[in-house]
Structure 1
Amino acid sequence: MAVQLSSGEFSTMTRLSRKALRLYQEQGLLEPARVDPSTGYRFYDVSQVETAQLIRRFRELDMPVAQIKAVLAAPSPAARTRLISRHLRHMEEQLDRTRETIGELRALLVREPTPLEVRFRSALATRAAAISDTVRTGEVGQWWSGALREIHASLGGSPTGPPGGLYATELFTEEVGGATVFVPTDAPVDTSGRVRVIEVPSADLAVTTHAGSHSGIDRTYGALGSYVAERELGAEGPVRENYLFREGGEMDTEVCWPVHHETES
């Protein structure tokens, strides 16, 4: 028969308070081995100590309860390891985003100006392979990645320019709106999936480059938009982005604001 521990002994061994043990019981994470029907006292098996220690560490890592249940129910140690590794990767990505945000906040606090070099460009109408959809602001990144992969897979030849995007004002004002990712090309295009051949319309644009990841791109948008507004140059139309891939996979983004034809030289 397995050795059973009182809740006090179990708390001491696992560093989980009685309150935490009650909570984990309610959440279905850690059921006592036995509950005395007359006193309500809970007893735990020695074999549950390791499980309790795992749960405590998962909660310290902010792992959602549903994910903890999935880990504990994993059919094998290898499956459990895969689930834990996936959560750790998610936390590392979250940590990277937190570090980037801290850097951006520090720059804002010291009122460090956003470097801005504005160029004016008349973009000609361009044939392109494209995917258009209505998306939510928080889903744009994932949608963009999938759409760009699908477009490249559909091309029967080389692109004639860098990939780009068109983003409706509603995407920013209402958190849901139209978005188009496109790749300029003169080659045949497989349109059996979501990809369609479109003509990206001509436009007069004020352009600046945001270096590196999209983290902090709102500051670039703010600086360019302010530049255009202060000079009363703004015109109707979606904001554009052009994606300039550098060697090694790094990417810069050209932010392109629609302006009137009569612009500064």
Structure 2
Amino acid sequence: MFEPAHVVPIGEFSRLTYLSVKTLHHYHEVGLLEPASIDPSTGYRRYSLDQVGRAHLIRRLRDLDMPVADVRAVLLAPDVASRDATLRAHLERMEAELARTRAVVASLRELLSPASPLAVTFVEVPAQPVFALRAVVDAAGAGRWYDDARLRLDAALGQAGVRAAGPHGATWAREYFEDERGEIVAFVPVRAGARSGAPDGVASTELPGGRFAVAEHLGGFDDFDRTYGALGSHVVRHAVGLSDPIREFYRVGPAETPDPASYRTDVYWPVQAA
């Protein structure tokens, strides 16, 4: 059997690469790092010195939690552009996860600090004409669905030559919270009589009136549960809550500012009429 020059046993290769023998066996099994030669009678693996750099690259990519399939794509990339595209996509995912981790850490620190009393008011809300899109959505994809729905609503406003009569918002069905899947209605208030022409599925409809307990949520959505908890608790203590969808009005959100600390959301909790 042909054996390349400058090969070393797997134990020595382990020292050269800082990869354990067990790890090298695993990388062989999943097709990331084939030995330069394998003894047909003993199965003993030997590696070429030319493979040291490849092993170092694999180690660093795996240290970045890159999936094995993506590491393989990097190693087998036909050109530098393809390799860099895979690396760039993974780095972007890591940066997004890092931002998410920082937001959760900040939220946890906030949770450990005493909460400021939540100001809650009870209001009677008249029926409101809106342009709306509705869908049953999984919680994991709700953010993406709403972002797309908002763009479609804005397009409907433009096509109808209508200006929004208030901030964009959404209603969230009880099932969304209980089952992590439920109906969401994205809407934008419009003046009475405005018609969307139903472009791209946008309907001209009306949000029913009613009585609501209202509170303002300040900042991003990582600690949105605290506002929901405080508002819902206030309702339990001072009113009779209804199972109707909760409404949110995004007075200041991602469409208005890139700074989550500046977000302002009004939460409307439906309650029984006084």
Query: How high is the TM-score relative to the length of structure 2?
Result: 0.86
| Corresponding residue pairs, total | 261
Tell me, in whole angstroms, the C-alpha distance in 2 between the residues paired with 1:53 and 1:149: 45
> Any idea what SS the aligned residue of 1:193 has?
helix
2:53 is aligned with what amino acid?
E
Residue 115 (structure 2) aligned to one of 85, 110, 113? 113
Q: 1:71 to 1:153 in 2, by over 3 A?
A: farther
2:87 aligns with 84
- The percent identity for this pair of structures is 43
Q: 1:163 is matched by which residue type in structure 2?
A: H
How far has the Cα of 1:223 moved from its partner? 0.6
Aligned match for 2:212, one of 205, 226, 229: 205
After TM superposition, the structure 1 = structure 2 runs for residues 46-195 of structure 1, keeping only pairs within 5 Å, are 46-110=49-113, 112-155=114-157, 156=159, 157=161, 158-186=163-191, 187-189=194-196, 191-195=198-202
Alignment CA distance shift 1:257-1:28 (3 Å): same
Q: CA deviation at 1:244?
A: 1.4
Does 153-162 or 204-213 show the bigger shift? 153-162
Shift of 1:188: 4.7
Inter-CA distance 192–34: structure 2 relative to 1 (3 Å threshold): farther
Conserved 8 A contact 2:174-2:243:
no
Shift of the alpha carbon at 1:20?
Answer: 0.6
List structure 1 runs of 4+ shifted beyond 4 angstroms: none
SS in structure 2 opposite 1:145?
Answer: helix
Which residue number in structure 2 is paired with residue 237 of structure 1? 244
Cα distance change on mapping 1:13 and 1:162 into 2, 3 Å: same
Contact 1:114/1:223, CA 8 A, preserved across alignment: no
Q: Contact 1:114/1:220 (CA < 8 Å) preserved in 2?
A: no
8 Å Cα contact 2:195/2:204 also seen in 1: no
- CA–CA distance in structure 2, aligned partners of residues 69 and 152 of structure 1: 42
Deviation of 1:21 after TM superposition, in Å, equals: 0.8
Give the equivalent residue in structure 1 for 2:257.
248
Unaligned runs of 5+ residues in structure 1 are none
Contact 1:137–1:176 (Cα < 8 Å) also in 2? yes
Q: Distance in 2 between matches of 1:235 and 1:140?
A: 23
**Amino acid of the structure 2 residue aligned with 1:59:** R
Q: Distance in 2 between matches of 1:131 and 1:70?
A: 40
**Whole-Å Cα distance in 1 between the matches of residues 98 and 138 of structure 2?**
24
- Whether the 8 Å CA contact 1:147–1:181 is kept in 2: the answer is yes
Say what the alpha-carbon RMSD is for the aligned residues: 2.1
Letter in structure 2 aligned against 1:124 = P
Structure 2: stretches of 5+ with no match in the other structure: none
Structure 1 contact 122–202 (Cα < 8 Å) conserved: yes
Stretch deviating more after TM superposition (68-77 or 125-134): 68-77
TM-aligned CA deviation for residue 23 of structure 1: 1.1
Q: CA 1:213–1:9 in 2, change beyond 3 Å: closer, same or farther?
A: same
Q: Secondary structure at the match of 2:200?
A: coil
Farther-moved stretch of structure 1 (219-228 vs 9-18)? 9-18
Alpha-carbon distance, 1:9 to partner: 2.8
TM normalised by structure 1 equals 0.89
CA contact (8 A) 1:114 1:219 kept: no
